[in-house]
């Protein structure tokens, strides 16, 4: 009888934990959905039969991002946009660890520059999350341990209001 109660209690705990994980995944706000902040841009002429045809490409708009959140200081763009994220800076380093662009709770947070960091300096340290199990903000950086991958994706840009570096 005692063992039966322990088994039932264990089963209830396991079901509760699984339910909590599922609830968290379904209801958690994504920190990296920036679909509202893309604008169409004209690019160089497309190589096609029609010489005058121009290709359009979507890119994040720094001005739209700043309208939503004045703490946005730039956009980080890696080759092939494996990472393409707005970067924020607040007066408190803990502020964006678990907040998204709308300053709402988000488990993965948003990449940020240290409160005392200078985005105009030669070296800018950007903080963000990665995960072995989820493809979140900086998870693609794990691929850079492979030298061949690094050689194929060896550049990135930091786009600010004043310049692109």
Query: Residues 112-122: pLDDT tens digits?
Result: 999 999 999 88
Question: CATH says 61-159 is which class?
Answer: mainly beta
What's this model's pTM, rounded to 2 decimal places? 0.73
Name the residue among 137, 97, 131, 90 with its Cα closest to residue 114.
90
Please check the confidence at residue 137 and state whether its pLDDT lies above 70. Answer: yes
User: Model confidence over 55-111: pLDDT tens digits?
Assistant: 668 899 999 999 999 999 999 999 888 899 999 999 999 999 999 999 999 888 999
| Predicted local confidence at residue 32, as pLDDT | 67
Strands 84-89 and 112-113: parallel
Q: How confident is the model at residue 34, as a pLDDT?
A: 86
The pLDDT confidence band at residue 2, using thresholds 50, 70 and 90, is confident
pLDDT at 15: 74
Q: Where are the domains of the chain?
A: 1-30, 61-159
Instruction: Render the burial of 11-49: b for 16+ CB within 10 Å, e for the rest.
Output: eeeeeeeeeeeeeeeeeeeebbebeebeeeeeeeeeeee
């Amino acid at each position: 009888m005692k063992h039966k109660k322990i088994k039932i209690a264990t089963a209830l705990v396991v079901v509760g934990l699984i339910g909590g994980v599922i609830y968290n995944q379904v209801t958690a706000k994504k920190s990296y959905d920036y679909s509202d902040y893309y604008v169409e841009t004209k690019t160089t002429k497309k190589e096609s039969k029609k010489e005058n045809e121009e290709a359009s490409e979507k890119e994040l708009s720094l001005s739209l991002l700043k309208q939503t959140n004045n703490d946005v200081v730039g956009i980080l763009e890696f080759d092939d946009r494996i990472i393409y994220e707005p970067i924020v800076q607040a007066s408190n380093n803990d502020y964006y660890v678990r907040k998204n662009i709308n300053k709402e709770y988000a488990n993965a947070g948003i990449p940020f520059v240290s409160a005392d960091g200078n985005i105009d300096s030669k070296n800018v340290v950007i903080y963000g999350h990665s995960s072995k199990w989820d493809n979140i903000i900086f998870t693609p950086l794990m691929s850079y341990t492979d030298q061949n991958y690094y050689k194929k994706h060896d550049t990135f840009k930091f786009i600010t209001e004043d310049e692109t570096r």
